[in-house]
Amino acid sequence: MTAPDDSLPTTYDAAATEAAWYPRWTEHGVFTASPEEAATHEPFVIVIPPPNVTAVLHMGHGLNNTVQDVLIRWRRMAGDAALWVPGTDHAGIATQNVVEKQLAAEGQSRFDLGREAFVERVASFVDRTGGEILNQLKSIGSSADWSRTAYTFSPELSRAVRETFVRLYEDGLVYKGHRVIHWCPRCGTSLSDEEAEFTETAGKLYHLRYPLASDPTQGITVATTRPETMLGDVAVAVNPDDERYQALIGQEVVLPLNGVRIPIIGDSYTDPAFGSGAVKITPAHDANDFEVGKRHQLPMPVVIDAEGIVREVDGAAGRVPEALRGLDRADARKAILPLLEAAGALVKVEPHHHSVRHCYRCDTVVEPRLSDQWFVRMQPLADKALTALRSGELRILPERWEAVYVNWLEGIRDWNISRQIWWGHRVPVWYCTTSCGHAPIVSRTDVTACPGCGGSVRQDEDVLDTWFSSWLWPFSTLGWPDETPDLKAFYPGDVLVTAPEILFCWVARMVMSGCWFMGKAPFHTVYLHGTVRDMQHRKMSKSLGNGIDPLDVVHLYGADALRWTMVAGLGLGVDVMLDPTDLEKSFAPGRNFCTKLWNIGRFLLSRVGTDPVTPVSALPSASLTAADHWILERLDAAIADCDAALGPARPSNGATWTEAERSRGLRLSEYAEAARRFVWNELADWYLESVKPRLNAEGADREVARAVLAHAFDGALRLLHPVVPFITEALWQQLPQTADGAMLARAAWPVARGGSRDEAKAFEIVRDAVAAIRQVRAEYNVQPGVWVDALLVTPDGSQSMVISQVDTVGALARARVQAAAANPGGAAAQVLLTGGVEVVVPLAGMIDLAKERQRLDGELAQLEKQLTALEGRLANEGFVAKAPPQVVEAERAKAAEWRGRAQQLRTKREALGNG
Ligand SMILES: [Zn+2]
Ligand SMILES: [Zn+2]
């Protein structure tokens, strides 16, 4: 197939190439994979971390999807049935927040609309604007199978969610619990542990004194970071073994401000060494206190409501003083301090750094709240996910994350999966509205009447955590719970590529659900790439205004420049640093790479021409020159380097990683560098240069040179294609051997052909000899146009090989080269190459010997004089004793350096002889 525009423009036109090739790839089904294909080819599957349906492409997506695309294109070329499943996440809280903001701008809330109308409004907003991010992913070249685009809230995936809830309920793993959970007063919903993120905060520790009821002159001091919660205290706990307090257990203290009498209890949860050894117990507003409260059957008065307002909510009559009622919790904290002080209850206030949980969606401080929620019992699921890692079925790269994963799973807590929002999968539980006493009905299908009394039912108001749908993603997208051909062909998948932030929220849970429902982990490798940061190491974010729009980069420099910059700078698990204020600087590596590749390609293709070429495999070995053998051998080496950096693609035994394999592969920057090095340093710098005279001549050797050059470039483009797909496709189409209709995106990954190392070795001598002569030329400032004389003095046995290469060396080094059996002596620069060949460049005729001798003598005399002075100083004991040690050290280093330089000058001077 020819490019849309049949000629190659002088500069690479990224926009035109991208616009021409992306649609061709999709029209020809390049990105699709079918179960039929998977029957005869190894499947290789990646599921996309589904971006939020309302998301706008940012650099994190750019990095994440470039990595996935490199892997999927590599495996597609390597002959796998490569499937990349794309899609979006309905993102419950996030999407609801977006629409609630729109409503607020119209002066409304979701409650004004009512549940049904609100959900309709969100759905139509998603229909209208959602999924735009998938189109943006196309513009960076992502080769996902778009015919399979999935959505966590589609009817199919919603069915999978319900099936999961019901099965886990039937297995006894889903239950409703009454306890203190994380609550976001702004979002108005509960959050899981993972969604309530810790932030280091400079807070204060308030020491409060509660007087004894029996003797107000005596008291007990407790410390808290949240003094406003003292209104809900129901006890003071001390350790029963703590001798200071043993006598007080069973007595009462009086709460300042409201006069409520509360008991002093003994509970071994209390650490005698922490603070005063006595702690206040507020069961409705602290998860640990809740447990203490349950153990001691204490009341649980609620003094802060769902919106974070301090008031007497539940069982709290008479507890909140008038002055504090109706205040927001933050204002209440400020207002309560003078009241406590006036009551003589505020002992002291200390600065206190501690971790405070914040809502991962809106950053509001999370409030612990007592409520009824649905939970998943995680221990049995976590056990399977641990086994998957320990057995080697699963690995995580970089490996240091494996310990983090294990720690989290070993300390797993039950997962709160109910959310008090409206946008999401509604909990599939129905309650009878009469008093017939029927148990809640948990059902795969909608329930309309009570099976007990036939009366009406109401569905649970809550929706399920967004992650409760995305944790099914690797199999729900393939048709589960039905046993579809897709599910059989493509589960389990292979690699999961994501950022470490969602290791717990998503990755570990996918492993759990996969092991639980499918009996196998959903992938064998988790690849955690770094984060994109600005030059101050800050994560790019909308609120900081330090983001880079990948589409701007594509527009300015092209998709390939973006991809190259990402991949080349991507050490395993290392953050990518970009400067949002200087796109030019940030993306210059990618832009320069494309420019240079284009220039090499244009020059090379113009020399190769369009006439058919002989396949390299059909060339008689004897017709190849040393240079031909060498470049073919270097291509083999580049293929091996790329394979070693990327692979293995899967465990070699098909099931579990061996210890040796476990940490290997997915080193994308090393792969890219190996491919680049081949094109730049070997193909362009050496082979292309050496082959020019042959291409200018006529006859059989010209055809050999064309064939090898075309073959080597073909191999290079195949190696580079996964990282820079557009420019390589455009160049590859111009190769004379490319068949009509063929596409690089579906071409085979190169395989080493194996050649003669010995034949290639002769060209290594050429390279080394040329480099040596060039070095001499530079040292003596020989003008580029001037030809010099050179001798290749060979050790016994290798003379014929060297003789065959003198012309090539001469052409590349601009030298009249001869082979010689011995060094004739005389003024000459000499370089001994590895392998024993000596390069001798006679200086007579090349430079003015007398003048050079004089110059060197002068330079040497000057240096020796300075060195003598310096050595004298260092021999002076007074100097060495008095001067600071680092000064003495620096002077010694200087002396050593000067001695080395003097020796070099002497050698050079000796080579000139005494004419
Ligand atoms: Zn929130
Ligand atoms: Zn009933």
Q: In whole angstroms, what is the distance from residue 94 CA to residue 103 CA?
A: 14
State whether residue 313 is helix, strand or coil.
Answer: strand
Residue 573 has pLDDT above 50, yes or no: yes
Q: pLDDT tens digits, residue range 225-251?
A: 899 999 999 999 999 998 988 888 999
Which ligand minimizes its atom distance to the CA of 360?
1
Which ligand minimizes its atom distance to the CA of 420?
1
Residue 202's nearest CA partner among 352, 364, 365, 367 is 352
φ and ψ of 569, to 5 deg: -95, 10
Q: Span 172-194, mean pLDDT?
A: 90
Residues 6+ apart with CB under 8 A from 292: 235, 237, 265, 267, 269, 281, 283, 298
Q: pLDDT tens digits, residue range 484-508?
A: 999 999 999 999 999 888 888 899 9
According to DSSP, the β-strands at 261-266 and 235-238 are parallel
Q: How far is CA 715 from CA 105, 227, 539, 614, 749, in A?
A: 58, 70, 38, 15, 8
Which ligand minimizes its atom distance to the CA of 195?
1
pLDDT-derived band at 45 (thresholds 50, 70, 90) equals very high
Residue 749 has pLDDT above 90, yes or no: yes
Q: In whole angstroms, what is the distance from residue 376 CA to residue 471 CA?
A: 13
pLDDT-derived band at 4 (thresholds 50, 70, 90) equals very low
Q: Return the bridge partners of 355, or none.
A: 200
Q: In whole angstroms, what is the distance from residue 43 CA to residue 605 CA?
A: 36
From ligand 1's centre to the CA of 588, what distance in Å? 40
Tokens of 37: 């294909």
From ligand 2's centre to the CA of 441, what distance in Å? 10
Q: Span 304-323, mean pLDDT?
A: 90
Q: Which residue has the tokens 């050894």?
A: 277
Residues 6+ apart with CB under 8 A from 882: none
From ligand 2's centre to the CA of 428, what distance in Å? 17
Residue 51 has pLDDT above 70, yes or no: yes
Q: Rounding to the nearest 10 degrees, give the CA dihedral for residues 138, 140, 145, 148.
A: -50
pTM, to two decimals: 0.86
Q: pLDDT tens digits, residue range 193-209?
A: 888 888 998 989 999 99
From ligand 1's centre to the CA of 116, what distance in Å? 22
Residue 2 has pLDDT above 60, yes or no: no
Q: Return the bridge partners of 841, or none.
A: 829
pLDDT-derived band at 7 (thresholds 50, 70, 90) equals low
Q: What DSSP assignment string belongs to 189-227?
A: EEE-GGGEEEEEEEEEEEEEEEEBSS-TTSEEEEEES-G
Type of residue numbered 600: I
Mean pLDDT of the chain: 91
Kindly tell me the burial class for residue 523, based on how many C-beta atoms sit within 10 Å of its own C-beta (0-12, 13-18, 19 or more).
buried
Cβ 355 vs Cβ 199: under 8 Å? yes
pLDDT at site 511: 97
According to DSSP, the β-strands at 252-254 and 261-266 are antiparallel
pLDDT-derived band at 54 (thresholds 50, 70, 90) equals confident
From ligand 2's centre to the CA of 117, what distance in Å? 29
pLDDT at site 797: 63
Q: Span 597-604, mean pLDDT?
A: 95
List helix spans (H) across 780-848.
799-803, 806-813
From ligand 1's centre to the CA of 476, what distance in Å? 28
Type of residue numbered 117: A
State whether residue 759 is helix, strand or coil.
Answer: helix
From ligand 1's centre to the CA of 99, what distance in Å? 14
Which ligand minimizes its atom distance to the CA of 434?
2
Kindly tell me the burial class for residue 748, based on how many C-beta atoms sit within 10 Å of its own C-beta (0-12, 13-18, 19 or more).
exposed
